[in-house]
Amino acid sequence: MAFSFLKQWRERRNTEDRNPPPITSQSQALNSNELVWFRAFGHQIPFFNCFSFFSTALSRSSPTRVYQIWPGRNVFFFRGRVICGPDPRGVLLSAVSVVLSEWIFCSYIGNSIRIISLSLLLTCTVIVSLILVSTRDPGIIPRKEGSVMEDIGSCSRIRSRRIAINGVEMKLKYCRICGIFRPPRSCHCSVCDNCVEKFDHHCPWLSQCIGLRNYRYYMMLIFSALVFFIYMLSFSWWKIGKMMSEKEWGGFQLVVNMPETFALALISFTAIGFLGGLAIFHVYLIILNQTARENFKQRYAESPNPYDKGLLSNIKEALFTRLPPSKVNFRAVVEKQDGSLTRTASIANSIEEEDSSPMQNKSNQEESSGSYQDDQVV
């Protein structure tokens, strides 16, 4: 019974994904965000999004805003001011594990105000980084309005464009879901259902895409969490060593008499291995000016990387250049025209700009030929 119900629900969801219904009223638009789907054991499982329900109830009397009709799977808080991935429980779990580690440290290991204060400072740095990376727009590219139905209906043509960047030919792929030619280095995230600029990967621990606008905060998170867990492990190990020498405890007695310290040491050790590997990999990527996706796909195995400007310039570009503003104003008011909801001019303009010349926005950073060669396969 439950399986057939889930099967029907999944089939309906798949049908909606292929043929999304046009948004004709505010209630329809709002309902689209009340269900959150996540994948577990190979199945899409629906969950009622209580956060969206409360925000919906609060905003019924206010004008419809872009975040309420946004077709991606993001979850919005504070009326569109905070944008998270489809399942914010991932970031909550990460935050709880850090706070829990800190609580164990303060309660059972830290033995002086100075040591505890420094651990609290490290915890705050990790939590702030976590919030910054998971609640920012990672670089979502606006969709072309009304393109989805048209493109699904006329899917016989596969379109792409070619463009030269620093003398290297790059292919701009057409995204049928967003209805745009994706700028170079961008990709459509299947989890969040958005095209994201300079897409690195989708992080399940943060439930957020890592892209152009939050990559440096991601690096800040990796390094602050690495330092935090090294700090935790150092003092846990120091206490374990002290107890073993003072009371001559063996491994079993250690686990029985101080399970919290032992657990913290074990968690810290595992976290250091995981975060250390990530840190090394991303430092390597920054030095080469590659994204994780480009590296996995071996994007520059046969052609040179046109974005590689040398060690210092690559580091500066990844971590210290000014971040571009968000291309989507999720708080913009949506105007109602002919019984359907359409986005405001500010969004439409950004879509036009994106579609007509994706490289124009990057003209101050990259040298491009400025001309396209269209490929059309009928």
What gap in Å lies between CA 160 and CA 374, rounded to an integer? 6
Which lies closer to Zn ion via its Cβ, residue 163 or residue 267?
A: 163
Interaction of residue 133 with Zn ion, rule CB under 5 A: no
Comparing CB distances to Zn ion, the nearer of 185 and 202 is 202
| Beta-strand pair 201-203/194-196 | unpaired
Query: Taking contact as CB under 5 A, which single stretch among the options 1-9, 208-216, 305-313, 359-367 is the one that binds Zn ion?
Result: 208-216
240 lies in the binding site for Zn ion (CB under 5 A): no
CB of 352 to Zn ion, least distance (A): 16
**Contact letters for Zn ion, residues 162-201 (x by CB under 5 A):** -------------x-xx---------xx-xx--x------
Known active-site residue 209: no
- Looking at the Cβ atoms of 191 and 328, the one nearer to Zn ion is 191
Question: Is 84 one of the binding residues for Zn ion (CB under 5 A)?
Answer: no
CA–CA distance, 375 with 179 (Å, rounded to integer): 16
CB of 209 to Zn ion, least distance (A): 3
Distance between CA atoms of residues 50 and 29, nearest Å: 16
Nearer to Zn ion by Cβ, of 57 and 149: the residue is: 149
Question: What DSSP assignment string belongs to 302-316?
Answer: SS--TT---HHHHHH
Minimum distance, C-beta of residue 163 to Zn ion, in the bound complex (Å) = 18
Query: Does 209 sit near Zn ion (CB under 5 A)?
Result: yes
b/e code 85-123 from CB counts within 10 Å (16+ = b): bbbbebbeebeeebeebbebbeebbbeeeeebeebeebb
Q: Which one, 82 or 189, has the nearer CB to Zn ion?
A: 189
Pattern 110-129, Zn ion, x by CB under 5 A: --------------------
232 binds Zn ion (CB under 5 A): no
- Is residue 75 within the footprint of Zn ion (CB under 5 A)? no
**Helix, strand or coil, per DSSP, at residue 202:** strand
In the complex, the smallest distance separating the C-beta of residue 370 from Zn ion, rounded to whole angstroms, is 24
> 3-state class of 160 per DSSP?
strand
318 scored as a contact of Zn ion (CB under 5 A): no
- The number of beta carbons lying within 10 Å of the beta carbon of residue 148 is 19
Question: C-alpha distances in angstroms, 249 versus 116, 203, 241, 336, 350?
Answer: 26, 41, 10, 73, 66
Total interface residues for Zn ion by CB under 5 A: 10
Tokens of 119: 């651990």
Residue whose CB is less far from Zn ion, 209 or 359: 209
Structure tokens at 308: 């590689």
Applying CB under 5 A, does 83 fall inside the site for Zn ion?
no
| Neighbouring C-beta atoms of residue 73, cutoff 10 Å | 20
The SS3 call for residue 155 is coil
**Which residues form the catalytic set?**
203
Please report, as ranges, the residues that interact with Zn ion according to CB under 5 A: 175, 177-178, 188-189, 191-192, 195, 202, 209
